[in-house]
Amino acid sequence: MYRYDEFDHAFVAQRVSQFRDQVERRLTGEISEDAFKPLRLMNGVYLQLHAYMLRVAVPYGTLNSRQMRKLAHIARTYDRGYGHFTTRQNIQYNWPALKDMPAILEELAEVEMHAIQTSGNCIRNVTADHFAGAAADEVADPRPYAEILRQWSSVHPEFSFLPRKFKIAVTASERDRAAIQVHDIGLQLKKDEEGRLGFAVWIGGGQGRTPILAKKVKDFLPEADLLSYVTAIMRVYNLHGRRDNKYKARIKILVHETGVETLSAEIEAEWSHLKDGELKLPAADIAAINAYFAPKALDSRAEGWAELAAWKKSDPDFASWVGRNVAPHRHPDYGMVTISLKPIGGIPGDASADQMDAVARLAEEFGHDEIRVTHEQNLVLPHVALADLEPLYRALLAEGLATANAGLITDIIACPGLDYCALANARSIPVAQEISSRFGDPARQAEIGDLKIKISGCINACGHHHVGHIGILGVEKKGAELYQISLGGSGDENASIGQITGRGFEPDQVTDAIETIVDTYLAQRTGTAETFIECYRRIGAVPFKAALYGSEAQAA
Amino acid sequence: MTVIWTKHGIVENDPWIAGDAEKAPKLLSLADALAHAQDNAPFGVVLQPADDVMALAPILGQVAIIALSFPAFSDGRGFSQAALLRQRLGYSGELRAVGIVLLDQVPLMLRTGFDSFEVSHAPTIARLKDNRLPGIDLHYQPSADRTEAGQSYSWRRTAIVNG
């Protein structure tokens, strides 16, 4: 993984003192709260319902054990002993004091971490496929390019006061695990006919109030042109994106209102002035960043095949954990292990300080010191020998981290909702907990199969409900919480926006409604091989609406 | 109080204070500047965020000063306008930020090519007078200001001391 050099260390140290000075000036009243707000947001500090919140960047979701131990230490020392992993591969702390923020940032800097641009109307932390560098199906590791973008976008003088936040995601395989089509810029690393690396470029995807899938503006952008082309996009957006209405300020609205052809012509025109300038990436620099991400030298561990078969035979729980939570690695003797942060009835994405320490220890022992945070709010050990799976599983079990539900109905994404968030209209966490408890039986989950439920507590859609196979959106109606359900969303390479089923459900009816939807799927599917989303795409919304609303559905 | 600040300090008796019609009779809007470009008297131009800076291309040689307006500190269009003026059009005259100019934006403005600032916010004026800017002198991207390259990767720059 990337290691800071002197320049990076000095930069982060200066950024911390800059923020310390800003906090001091806020406390003396030299800066108004209005003017301070974008400054603190650009350093990840939110003011939530009950307290300040600090969102720490985990660039492209990659961590080592030392960093994870520091995150545990911060949770223990400055918070209430836990942290919350987010849908943008970051971690947030819900209870730190404003006065402690500079100290926390100094602690983070010790392990090459920061909170830069985890919020605010700037280029946010760049995300990537959580299986990068390990997946069998990737063209190349996308993280070096995410790292180049991270560096280039850090405290960018031209793009720190954009019309609205700006999110970039990078993937490197046809199978999109980074949800690039719902990002402001989505980059798919690929090769051309001559085997040269470059990107398919998508712009204007996003969720929120107006969910829109991204449009492809470039089929193949040579890797050397990455920064110049992204700069052209940013400049056109900064100058022309709407600033009159924050709900219409994302680039997706500019793309929609201008038309993708006109806008991409403007981007091309801007790019023509930039492409051969100082932003052109020298091959040596690309190679130097790539070197930090050189594939791990993995020893042959062929003994794992027979051992794994025997362990699975003797322990069905272990077998089902392997079946759900271990994915094939490009090395046949290894697997990519998902550590579920979705215990049955638990809070999606939360981890205690002790659990973080345990993951750090296990990553050292079994995982070549590498940890990933996924946008689905789980953790991953990307390089585990099959021969080590059984002891790893035992250790995870002891920490409450061996829930065998990756990709199943209880692997729910949920935003913090009204329990924490100042923007929320409704609670998300209790809804997730109740659904998780109702469907917690392993046999029942297995029978239902792949199913993604995503819950947001307001229209800002941090819980990605628009791309949930089943999406749940909490709204406020006449002072009470109400939940709208949508069906058929997807955030992968076959991305789609879910469609609302009809009138919303009161809090105590939501889980019943989910059960009705699931039962309808089970009754309608052609067999166990047809997943929920495939079934929905075949039969459409009508049978689900009929089951949910009965005769009302015809009337509506 | 409104002052003009540059890297050399506070400017006394500046003739171009945008907010003052008496002192700045010749700080023209984009449309007026284009219409009066044939006049020999020196004039300046003040652009609003929605103005197209490229329209100034034909008259850049006659303009004594360009001011870019920040009607709100959160409106960042002026940063791109400045970058285009400096890097695309090669404008080398005075480039002034006017409107809501606050301390924490000044380092970013300097980097995108501004070299003078019309400031009314008292705490900002105090810090500028002391020359205590809250900037970072290591940069991950090239920009319009004078910096040094050669910092291990092509996109990195460092500030030039007293530059």
Positive or negative: CA dihedral A16, A22, A28, A33: negative
Q: What DSSP element (H or E) covers A471?
A: strand A470-477
Q: Are residues A321 and A450 in the same domain?
A: no
Option in A15, A151, A158 nearest B79 (CB): A158
Question: What pLDDT is attached to residue B25?
Answer: 60
Q: Are residues A278 and A216 in the same domain?
A: yes
Question: What SS3 state is found at A30?
Answer: coil
Q: For residues A381 and A483, state if they share a domain.
A: no
CA-based nearest distance B79→chain A, Å: 5
Residue A123, pLDDT score: 98
Residues of B in contact with A153 (CB under 8 A): 140-141
**Tens of pLDDT along B115-150?**
999 999 999 999 999 999 999 999 999 999 888 887
Q: What is the pLDDT of residues A5-16, one digit of tens each?
A: 999 999 999 999
| Predicted pLDDT of residue B18 | 64
Give the pLDDT confidence score for residue A296 in this predicted structure. 85
Same domain, A175 and A249: yes
Nearest CA in chain A to B127: A30
For residue A118, being part of any structural domain is answered with: no
Asked if A172 and A196 sit in the same domain, the reply is: yes
Placement of tokens 């209405």 in the chain: A245
Residue B22 reports pLDDT greater than 80:
no
C-alpha distances in angstroms, A412 versus A174, A435, A450, A513, B11? 24, 9, 12, 16, 60
**Does residue A555 register a pLDDT over 60?**
no
Q: How far is CA A431 from CA A349, A448, A485, A487, A508, in A?
A: 14, 19, 12, 17, 9
Q: Nearest by CB to B155, which of A160, A227, A239? A: A227
- Mean pLDDT across chain B, nearest whole number? 90
**What is the mean predicted confidence (pLDDT) over A416-441?**
95
A407: in domain: no
What DSSP string describes A322-351?
HHHHEEEBSSTTEEEEEE----TTS-TTEE
pLDDT, one tens digit per residue, over A29-61 is 999 989 999 999 999 999 888 888 999 999 999
The answer to whether residue A296 sits within a structural domain is: no
pLDDT at residue A230 in the model? 98
What is the percent of chain B with per-residue pLDDT over 90, rounded to a whole number?
A: 71
Domain span holding position A286: 127-291
Say what the pLDDT of residue A48 is: 83
Q: pLDDT-based confidence at A305, cuts 50/70/90?
A: very high
Average pLDDT rounded to a whole number, residues A58-74? 98
What region does A546 belong to: left with phi over 0, alpha with psi -120 to 50, or beta?
alpha
CB-based contacts of A101, cutoff 8 Å, min separation 6 = A19, A23, A43, A45, A52, A54
Q: Which residue has the higher pLDDT, A300 or A98?
A: A300
For residue A147, the chain B residue with the least C-alpha distance is: B140
CB-CB neighbors (< 8 A) of A161 in chain B: 73-76, 79, 105
| Same domain? A144 vs A278 | yes
Determine the residue among B101, B114, B128, B138 to mutate to test chain A binding: the one whose Cβ has the most chain A Cβ atoms within 10 Å.
B138
- Nearest CA to CA, how far is A102 from chain B (Å)? 15
Number of folded domains in chain A? 4
Pairwise CB contact (< 8 Å): B140 & A278: no
What would the pLDDT profile of A430-467 be if each residue is shown by its tens digit?
999 999 999 999 999 999 999 999 999 999 999 999 99
Whether A196 is in a domain gets the answer yes
Residues A34, A58: one domain? yes
Report which of residues A389 and B29 the model is more confident about.
Answer: A389
Mean predicted confidence (pLDDT) in A19-30: 92
Q: Please, what is the Cα angle at A450 between A214 and A125, to 5 degrees?
A: 40
CATH number of the domain enclosing A519: 3.30.413.10
Q: Which residue of B has its CA nearest to A36?
A: B104
To the question of pTM greater than 0.90 for the whole model, the response is yes
Answer yes or no: do A94 and A197 share one domain.
no
Q: State the pLDDT at residue A188.
A: 98
Residues A335 and A245 in one domain: no
Contacts of A227 in chain B (CB under 8 A): 141, 155
Are the C-beta atoms of A436 and A411 separated by less than 8 Å?
no
CATH number of A43's domain: 3.90.480.20
Specify whether A483 is located in the same domain as A515: yes
- Residues in chain B closer than 8 A to A279 (CB atoms): 141-142, 155
- Examine residue A548 and state whether it is found in any structural domain, yes or no: yes
Mean pLDDT calculated for residue range A247-254: 97
Q: Is residue A378 part of a domain?
A: yes
- Domain presence at residue A448: yes
How far apart are the CA of A158 and the nearest CA of chain B, in angstroms?
5
Quickly state the pLDDT bin for B99 (edges 50, 70, 90): very high
Chain B residues bordering chain A (beta-carbon distance below 8 Å): 49, 73-77, 79-81, 83-84, 88, 102-105, 107-109, 111-112, 123, 134-143, 149, 151-156
- Residue ranges and CATH numbers for the domains of chain B are 3-133 (3.20.20.70)
pLDDT at A461: 93
- For the record, the structure tokens of B101 come out as 């100019």
Q: Give the residue on B whose Cα is nearest the Cα of A15.
A: B136
Q: Does the pLDDT of residue B19 top 70, yes or no?
A: no
Which residue of A158, A251, A276, A281 is the best one to mutate when testing the B interface, meaning the one whose CB has the most B CBs within 10 A? A158
Query: Does A119 map to a domain?
Result: no
Question: Are residues A274 and A135 both part of a single domain?
Answer: yes
Tracing tokens 């105590």 back to the chain, one arrives at A508
Residues A104 and A137 in one domain: no
Q: Give the distance from residue B133's alpha carbon to the nearest chain A alpha carbon, in angstroms.
A: 10
Contact by Cβ (8 Å): A162, B76: yes
In degrees, rounded to 5, the angle at the alpha carbon of residue A123 between the alpha carbons of residues A227 and A76 is: 125
